[in-house]
Amino acid sequence: MAQLWGGRFTKATDQMVFDFNASIRFDSRLFRQDVEGSIAHAAMLARQGILSKEDKDAIINGLQGILKDVESDRLPIDMTQEDVHSFVEAKLIERIGDAGKRLHTGRSRNDQVALDMRLYTRERLLETDRLLKGLLEVLLHTMEENLDTYMPGFTHLQKAQPITLAHHYGAYFEMFRRDRGRLSDIYHRMNYCPLGAGALAGTTYPLDREYTAKLLGFDGATRNSLDSVADRDYLIEFLAALSTIMMHLSRFSEEIILWNSNEYQFVELDDAYSTGSSIMPQKKNPDIAELVRGKTGRVYGALLSLLTTMKGLPLAYNKDMQEDKELSFDAMDTVTDCVALFTGMLRTIRFHKERMARSAMNGFTNATDAADYLVNKGVPFRDAHGIIGRLVLYCIDRDKAIDELSLEELRSICPKFDEDLYEAISLKTCVEKRLTLGGPGKEAMRKVIEEYRAYLSEDHNTRRRLPMREITDGNRKKDRRRSI
């Protein structure tokens, strides 16, 4: 419904303009954050003597009733309102009368919107972090179970050197751990409350912004009112972090897709995470991995969209910033779904360990170890490199692996070879003698796994806001937050 905006306007907004301007279709998901922020604001106003206790109680009880009714589906959100903030305020005034009109004292729609979006983004950030922790738990369990599962390591998609599945999964553990670190950094930068900044220049009312921030679980209040309503850096950072998470998931998905192919046959995907073909009955397609790979571009698009929206905006608030929501919400939903589904797919995957080991034995993945063997026999590395190159050509011509050659054949290439070569270039030796930190050797991996387990047990990326019911007039409840 078109609106008449106070005394400044003499006629209602054109209906098409109203519809184009309205945001309730997508910002209705900020409903709970809007109510929580309003309750904190009312509690602060009463504490400062700006609201009477009676008005404060009526407002808080009214807001809690609206929240309860909406969340229990007894009260549908009115989609004819311009935005969710208008809906909440209109419903509050309808229920409690003039007291509801006093709620907006000392705040603007600008700092209200900024608060709601920051609260919502903070919750989604913590949700993403929890999902990543679950993914890391699955990765770590697989690592612990596969210290002796040999497989080829690749460069340029060509077999390079033998590693283990534990070592390969460890690379992704590092990626997703870095992702959690980025989320933690973002959390600390964004966890300041913009409420009280007003439209752009604060207010003449004696607000206690630090108290409002404490009630809502922030580390403090923002320090510049212009920046408070104009800032979307935290959202851009979050979308950048989500894009990086999706990039990691996409790389992993690509490998799962390859490993699942007939040519590799390294893995068997669970039926619950695969689909068939409408025409080819033999097919079992890795659709979840493919969709995760495909949806990565969708998340990138949200980041680029918001960067483009913000790049030319003067201070302070501009209506362009309403465009921060739709694609951002979609990106958050997409990443949440992708991490959850990918975790389930990894949890149920089966590995063809013998096939992986056979693949590691082919392709001359032990060639570097054969060169190191000659170095240990006194041959300069560059000479050893050339000798093994000729040896590989000899093997290719005869369709043999290095360890399938007789000692006589080996010595025809280089007299330094002896019987101990066969043990030196076995898969077990090639892997387990690589004991430098970060390598695939069993003892090195065990130390890293121990570190990973300690990291996950710390649960250091957890923080909670004070629940709304703990906001009471003049009573500072103890902040139960834990550091992220």
Catalytic residue list: 156, 277
Planar angle of CA 334, 465, 114, nearest 5 degrees:
65
Distance of alpha carbon 341 from alpha carbon 14, whole angstroms = 45
Instruction: Show Cβ contacts of residue 181 under 8 Å, excluding neighbours closer than 6 positions.
Output: none
- Whether residue 450 contacts residue 443, with contact meaning beta carbons closer than 8 Å, is answered with no
Bridge partners (DSSP) of residue 268 are 350
Q: How many CB atoms lie within 10 A of CB 320?
A: 11
Q: For 191-283, where are the alpha helices, taking DSSP H only?
A: 209-215, 225-230, 233-260
In this structure, what is the dihedral angle of CA atoms 395, 162, 267, 285, given to the nearest 10 degrees? -70
**Strand 150-155 versus strand 267-268 pairing type:** unpaired
Distance of alpha carbon 116 from alpha carbon 194, whole angstroms = 10
Strand (E) positions, 243-307? 267-268
Distance of alpha carbon 40 from alpha carbon 471, whole angstroms = 7
Residue type, 482: R
Displacement of CA 309 from its chain's centroid (Å): 23
Write the CA distances from 167 to 80, 232, 431, 457, integer angstroms.
56, 39, 10, 21
Distance of alpha carbon 423 from alpha carbon 429, whole angstroms = 7
Distance of alpha carbon 121 from alpha carbon 303, whole angstroms = 14
What's the full length of the chain, in residues? 484
Per the listing, tokens 């898969």 go with 427
DSSP letter (8 states) at residue 474: T
- Whether residue 141 contacts residue 346, with contact meaning beta carbons closer than 8 Å, is answered with no
**Structure tokens, 18:** 């109203």
Per the listing, tokens 């670190």 go with 181
Cis peptide before 316 (omega within 30 of 0): yes
3-state secondary structure (DSSP) of residue 65: helix
Q: For 72-164, where are the alpha helices, taking DSSP H only?
A: 84-96, 98-101, 109-145
What is the radius of gyration, based on Cα positions, of the chain? 30
Q: How many CB atoms lie within 10 A of CB 460?
A: 13
